[in-house]
Amino acid sequence: MTTALPLEWHHGLRLSGHPMWMDATRPKPLSFVSHAHGDHFARHQKIICSPATARLIGHKVSRASLEPHAYRESFELHDLRLELRAAGHMLGSAQIVIDRHGRRIVYTGDFKLRASRTAEPAEIVPCDVLIMECTFGKPHYRFPNAEALTARLVRFIDQTTEDRAVPVLFAYQMGKGPEIAKLLDDLGYTVALAAQVHTVVERYRELGVAFRRCETINGGNYYGKVLLLPPYLSRSPLLMRLTRRRTAMLSGWGMDADARYRYGADEVIPFSDHADFDELVSYVRQANPSQIYTLHGPPEFAAHLRTLGYNAQHLEPRTQLHLWEE
């Protein structure tokens, strides 16, 4: 008997006919949540995720809904055998490996291959079908190496401090905020965190990430410290009171020529928790899938993969596809 295994993408992904969605953004009976960023989960009845992700999102969903699984722990759901693998995007981020009748599908979620101070190292999983995010899937998104980015950040902080001003960094509170806080803490800086970032840092501490010189912004004298805030506080009363300050946005979009004007910052430094163009290609080469579907990025990346000889297609919302027939 021949049966089809179709893929749906509509406010999340799923294999049609199966109860599990992947990164569904509207409440579902069951969804895999790849990581703790708010645009990748909702109040699902049941959530499959890593233990760290369960800890990071546990205050936003029903704790009874959480079904955490350790990396490389095999478990079954109907006729699927599932396994989570580290994605390197942030602490607890996971890819999901789906085995069905000897075929393997990998959904990466957001990922990066570069080393992190707070996230588990990503794994590249060989597979038959690869469904991958490609946020930075254009050739000009080739990020400088960690040493160059760190040197640029240190130069920004030190020059600002020498000018008797306060360096203010903007990074998203979940993921990149703690990553930058850890970097600066390891370099010996005292980092004053917005309460929203400090709350996440405390959860990272509970999960085993060590911080020494991080404190909460408390309205005192900030000279000689580095302030770290989420971007939406860029016009907060606190900053308006700091007449001598310089600001830096930390984002992979800093590779765009207009980034500094777009963010209204003195500098944009391209720290990113996503794979850059070369990492995306590297994952494909090493996973060596027979079919690739890209999403959350430019359609041009799938086109580029086709020039390299891969069977690649970009997914648009409300897509239904047959992956293969059995």
Question: In tens digits, what is the pLDDT along the chain, a chain of 326 residues?
Answer: 333 347 788 788 988 778 899 999 999 999 999 999 888 888 899 999 999 999 999 888 888 899 999 999 999 998 899 999 999 999 999 999 999 888 999 999 999 999 999 999 999 999 999 999 999 999 999 999 999 999 999 999 999 999 999 999 999 999 999 999 999 999 999 999 999 999 999 999 999 999 998 999 987 788 999 999 999 998 888 888 888 999 999 999 999 999 999 999 999 999 999 999 999 999 999 999 999 999 999 999 999 999 999 999 998 776 555 554 44
How far apart CA 96 and CA 316 sit, in angstroms, is 21
Do residues 214 and 226 make contact, with C-beta atoms less than 8 angstroms apart?
no
Strand pairing category for 4-9 and 94-100: unpaired
How far apart CA 54 and CA 210 sit, in angstroms, is 20
Instruction: Provide the total of helices (H) and of strands (E) in the chain, helices listed first.
Output: 8, 20
Do residues 230 and 177 make contact, with C-beta atoms less than 8 angstroms apart?
yes
How far apart CA 48 and CA 260 sit, in angstroms, is 38
- Identify the structural domains of the chain with CATH numbers, from first to last: 4-140+274-325 (3.60.15.10), 146-269 (3.40.50.12650)
Residue 44 is encoded by which pair of tokens?
């699902």
Give whole-number Cα distances, 267 to 153, 157, 234, 246, 262, in Å.
Answer: 10, 11, 13, 8, 11
Residue 325 is encoded by which pair of tokens?
């027939």
Strand pairing category for 166-170 and 103-107: unpaired
Give the type of residue at 249: M
Location of structure tokens 């996973």:
287
Residue 78 is encoded by which pair of tokens?
């109907």
How far apart CA 182 and CA 187 sit, in angstroms, is 9
